[in-house]
Copies of this chain bind each other. A is one copy, B any other.
Amino acid sequence: MTTTTARRRRSDGERSRRTILRTAARLATVEGLDGLTIGRLASETGMSKSGLFAHFGSKEELQLATIDTAEEIFEGEVLRPALEAEGLARLRALCERFLSHVDRKVFPGGCFFASAAAELDTRPGPVRDRIVAIYGEWTALLEDSVRTAQERAELAESVDPAQLTFELNAMLAEANGLFLLSGDPRAFDMARRGIADRLERAAA
């Protein structure tokens, strides 16, 4: 039988890999996941092209690893803090943490996944599939929060969870886009006001 040789990594390699991927995640929101180039990333991290490349084996693997890293950052900045609340409060917290993470420029090019989704929209392949899956998880999380809020009688039974999620998501994404285009933080205020109004209307 073939013993699967699990290549154990060295600590220094692990560390530079993290450094590379954190830089890549930030850079990708500016240059795009495709515009993210090996040479640029190498000079940004002070490594050689070949040394950096050896960590991934292909550009596609680098992109997938970058997405994983962006997901971890997003979890830490948005999801984990918001998941401490429940029901309607969780829904509000998810929206607020999302807006906050754009405002605080966790990624210099705004929401990583909004940027990646717009870029990979029409380009089939595993990278796009990964982005679609993550978008689906985010949407499902919002919808679940709506449903829980309904069970707790914080939102009306008559509310369509998918519809409400669509509208909330729309305002979050638009705030992200408008802020990036205009640089005006009033984009967040408009999103907050729109979301608050919409939730009030959906209240039980």
Contact = CB atoms under 8 A, between A and B. Distances in A.
B173 A174 contact: yes
Contact of A115 (B121, B163, B171, B190): B121
Interface in A17-40: 29-30, 32, 34-35
Q: Interface residue tally of chain A, by bracket?
A: 35 or more
Q: How many copies does the complex hold?
A: 2
Given A35-B34, A162-B190, A132 B181 contact: yes
A141 to B, nearest CB: 16
B135 A122 contact: no
A167 B109 CA distance: 22
Contacts of A115: 118, 121
A117 B181 contact: yes
B174 A118 contact: no
A32 B88 CA distance: 39
Given A110-B121, A121-B109, A174 B166 contact: yes
Interface string A165-192: 0110111011101101110000100110
Interface string A70-102: 000000000000000000000000000000000
A177 B131 CA distance: 13
Q: By DSSP majority rule, is chain A's interface helix, strand, loop, or mixed? A: helix
A117 B177 contact: yes
Contacts of A174: 166, 169-170, 173-174
A169 to B, nearest CB: 6
Interface of A: 29-30, 32, 34-35, 108-110, 114-115, 117-119, 121-123, 131-132, 135, 162-163, 166-167, 169-171, 173-175, 177-178, 180-182, 187, 190-191, 193-194, 201
Given A117-B181, A118-B118, A163-B190, 13 more contacts: A30-B122, A30-B123, A114-B118, A115-B121, A118-B119, A119-B119, A121-B180, A132-B181, A135-B181, A167-B171, A170-B171, A170-B173, A170-B175
